[in-house]
Amino acid sequence: MTKVEKGYTLIEILVGLVIIGILFTVGYVGFRDFSRRQALSGVVKNVQGDLRLTQGYALAGQKPDNVFCNSPASLIGYNFNAVSATEYRIEAVCSGGVVIQKEYVLSSGISIMSSSPNPILFKILGNGTNITSGQSGTITLYQEGSGVQTNILIGSGGEIK
């Protein structure tokens, strides 16, 4: 009587491991790219939300309670100011000075650039922006790891696209 053993050979096991390794690598690269796109998309939504917040502050025309904005100083509008490649601010602009309302530091690997003008001033009570009539301002968000960039357009009347 001969004894028959069942199982896999070493070659079969190695081939299986190589196939699993290739599938894992392809899946990991796809997931990493997806994660990067989602991170940039989240920052774009935050910046658009903060642009709308800046616009809302200006439309409301409410002065912040600060020595620079207290009477007799008047409110001129609200700035969206790209301070550096990784930070932006929302600022109240009064005739007495500038008051910072909100500061935001971007997540690592994402940078912000604002085309002329910087800062973008949303004037009070719906009087538009400091962007030349018929033109648009551009805020560019760039992701260093993937090289992907997204533009946010602001029209002279305050439209955010």
User: In the chain, what are the domain boundaries?
Assistant: 12-155
35 membership: H or E segment, kind and range:
helix 10-60
Report how far residue 101's alpha carbon sits from residue 90's, in angstroms, rounded to the nearest whole number. Answer: 5
**Percent of the chain having pLDDT more than 70?**
99
Report how far residue 46's alpha carbon sits from residue 20's, in angstroms, rounded to the nearest whole number. Answer: 39
* pTM, rounded to two decimals: 0.82
**pLDDT, tens digit (0-9, with 9 covering 90-100), for 102-132:** 999 998 889 999 887 889 999 998 889 999 8
Quick check: 2 pLDDT over 80?
no
**CATH numeric code, 12-155:** 3.55.40
- Higher pLDDT, residue 1 or 11: 11
User: Tell me, what's the pLDDT at 115?
Assistant: 81
